[in-house]
Amino acid sequence: MSLVPPPTVTDAAPPARLITRPFVVVTLSAALFFMYIGTLVPLVPLFIEGPLDGGEFGLGLNAAIFAIAAVLARPALGRLADRHGRRSVIIGGALIAAAGGMAMSQVDALPLLLLLRAFTGIGEAGVFVGAATLIADLSPRDRRAEGASYFSVAVFTGLGVGPVFSEWLLDDVQFERTFIAAGAFAIAAAAIALFAPARVTSPDDDAMSTVDSGGRAAPPVKALASSGIFKFIHPAAIGPGAVLAFGVGGLTTFFLFAPEYSRDVGLSNSGVLFLLYALVSLVIRMFGAKLPERLGARRSVTIALVSMAAGLVVFAAIPEVWALWIGAALIGLGAAFNYPSLMALTVNNAGDAERASAISSFTMFFEVGSAGSGLLVGLFAHFVGKQIGFLGGVLFCLAGLWVLRTIVAPRDVAAPSVRPATAPSPSTS
């Protein structure tokens, strides 16, 4: 006879604690690692076009190699994280990326640099999969979008501060010391990850699972298949990942065209637009982290896609400096709402034993959306110009909106009301 009381249906159950010591450890480790990634953002292109004389084609190969390596590695990394723990994938990924970054300081040919970029792509995928999965593990089921929001603040902060540090330390010619300093951030991230839990058992997942007639836990809502494409891509990630990819398409359009277009309009430094975009997104994610759960995935992601589309329309329709500020703010608003709810949808539709595989599949759509939209929107803008080219990003946002509201979230679904009588903190090991 079981001594564990059955779950009760109540709206008054106290919320489980979200900000715990392991949560802070994982977030800090991710912030340092993405400081490393951010440091490489201006450094690698300058190194390719400068000392290596790789030209624009070399820049394109650099971006492609990094994205392809990350995409191909994610299915295996997800399985490793499910089988051997999240912490080992974070540490291994950070060290692989650190080795790749530091070794770049010694190369004198583009092919070798591209090989090392593949290692950094694999390492980045490992850290992101492991850390994002641990954050989902440590977040109560009905606060996972909030947890994803806080985690993304660490990622955005690292990516935002890293380029500033890189430009300051580089001083135009100091490539070797800047590559080594960048790698040191990744090593520090691995060291901090040593204090993260290897595995997490989320008690509210156990409480909310159903049982079959034999008393065994029922299978998750969606599971990896034994063969076929769903052996490598988790089915729970397909719908939310497709919406994410379309949203990333809109964001990529902004990243591609805003720098030169803003100069054509009369703004001397496009960096301030990206700063405004990042600040709007960070402020909303920090102080409005609970909004995605309150609004629901359908509403919050609709806000994201409509806001990004509106910002891109402003860029395309009004070639004025004041319009650039409005467009960048709208895109920042959209970026703040796009990721957290879609991540929560993915996690909540996968079982605990396959959570890392689901998240690795979901985050793969970042690279898929970026690479695919960059190619298509770039081709479109080649014929119509950058200003009209922004409308290509609008089409991506509208496609994502259609997939969201007809397939992924055709209606608002209330948060589950079945909760354990008490809400213990997640157990870690």
Q: Which of 118, 80, 398 is nearest to 243 (CA)?
A: 398
Range of the domain at 81: 21-203
199 and 342 belong to one structural domain: no
Residue 137 inside a domain? The answer is: yes
62 and 180 belong to one structural domain: yes
Contact present, 247 and 308 (Cβ < 8 Å): yes
Residue 210 inside a domain? The answer is: no
309 and 181 belong to one structural domain: no
Residue 78 inside a domain? The answer is: yes
199 and 234 belong to one structural domain: no
CATH of the domain at 74: 1.20.1250.20
Residue 255 inside a domain? The answer is: yes
Indicate the residue among 184, 203, 222 that finishes a domain: 203
Tens of pLDDT along the chain (429 residues) come to: 444 444 433 333 444 678 889 999 999 999 999 999 888 877 888 888 789 988 767 776 777 788 888 888 988 898 888 888 889 999 999 999 999 999 999 999 999 999 999 999 999 999 999 998 899 888 887 788 788 878 888 887 887 778 778 878 888 788 999 999 999 999 999 999 999 987 776 545 544 444 433 444 444 456 665 555 666 788 888 899 999 999 988 988 887 777 778 878 888 766 678 778 888 888 888 887 778 878 888 899 999 999 999 999 999 999 999 999 999 999 989 988 888 888 888 888 877 778 778 888 888 888 788 777 777 887 888 788 888 989 999 999 999 999 999 998 887 554 443 333 333 334 444
Residue 416 inside a domain? The answer is: no
Which pTM was predicted? 0.71
Contact present, 404 and 275 (Cβ < 8 Å): no
Report pLDDT for 219: 43
192 and 261 belong to one structural domain: no
For residue 66, CA distances in Å to 146, 194, 246, 301, 368 come to: 29, 26, 20, 28, 12
Domains of the chain: total: 2
Residue 15 inside a domain? The answer is: no
247 and 334 belong to one structural domain: yes
Report pLDDT for 404: 93
Residue 3 inside a domain? The answer is: no
Helix/strand/coil for 350: strand
161 and 249 belong to one structural domain: no
Alpha helices in 171-296 (DSSP H): 175-193, 203-208, 235-265, 271-287, 291-295
Report pLDDT for 144: 80
Q: Which of 365, 366, 363, 311 is nearest to 333 (CA)?
A: 311
Residues sharing a CB contact under 8 Å with residue 406, sequence separation 6 or more, in sequence order: none
197 and 235 belong to one structural domain: no
Interstrand relation of 418-419 and 8-9 (parallel, antiparallel or unpaired): antiparallel
193 and 264 belong to one structural domain: no
Residue 209 inside a domain? The answer is: no
Indicate the residue among 203, 222, 256 that finishes a domain: 203
243 and 389 belong to one structural domain: yes
Copy the structure tokens of residue 288: 């409005």
155 and 277 belong to one structural domain: no
Q: Which of 131, 385, 99 is nearest to 260 (CA)?
A: 385
Q: Is 225 left (phi over 0), alpha (psi -120 to 50) or beta?
A: beta
239 and 160 belong to one structural domain: no
Q: Which of 360, 362, 357 is nearest to 82 (CA)?
A: 357
Report pLDDT for 24: 93
